[in-house]
Amino acid sequence: MTTTDAPLTIAFVLLTHSPDEPAGIERAVDSLANGLRELGHRTLIVAVGPPCRNDPPDLVRLNSVSLPRPMLVDEMLTPLPDPAPVREEGRRVLSLADAAVAVVPSTGPESFGNVAAEALSVGTPVISYGLGYLATLTGKAGRTGDLDDGPERLWWALAQLLDDRAAYHAASQQGPQQVAAHTPAAVAREFLHATMAGAPEVS
């Protein structure tokens, strides 16, 4: 199976990542990353927090992932010995619009899914476990798997989606529709509707 004609750079952006004491998220990311490397792609893990003893060479530590994007690019490039060749790559890594697929490997129920919503809003399909609200949020704009099937299921879904151009295009087109009700304007309209309903008219 060939998932793409050209090598991809795929970034996993995590709030925490501890290779010294791997939990479900670390194992899921490692499994996906190993599979991607076997297919000739490059993986990059971007995580918040101090370095660990067993940090792999493709892990970049940041102080925060909630900084504005330009500041994140600068912070991401600072630890690199020669940042110039990867400056544009860093910008691409931090832009979900340039990602082929967003993998959200949360092993606990998500009450909403901000990363997934941001990806969907720019037409990037989402792969995740069908936990919490993620399955509803993603709908036909991605693929969800059963947590009991393990991280290999996410990798299989990712490879299958990238191999099927028609399915990928359909998922990408569906993405913005999945989050249409969550745009700032849509939320503002709902807020006004809820707060102004029954209010007396001002003469």
CATH number assigned to the domain with residue range 9-178, chosen from the 4 options 3.40.50.2300, 2.60.40.10, 3.40.50.2000, 2.30.30.760: 3.40.50.2000
Structural tokens at position 198: 């029954």
Residue 24's pLDDT is what? 65
Q: Does position 79 have pLDDT exceeding 60, yes or no?
A: no
Of the candidates 76, 78, 3, 72, the one whose C-alpha atom is nearest the C-alpha of residue 44 is 76
What region does 4 belong to: left with phi over 0, alpha with psi -120 to 50, or beta?
beta
| Domain extent listing, the chain | 9-178
Residue 171 — very low, low, confident or very high, per pLDDT cuts 50/70/90?
very high
Q: Can you tell me the mean pLDDT for 87-110? A: 68
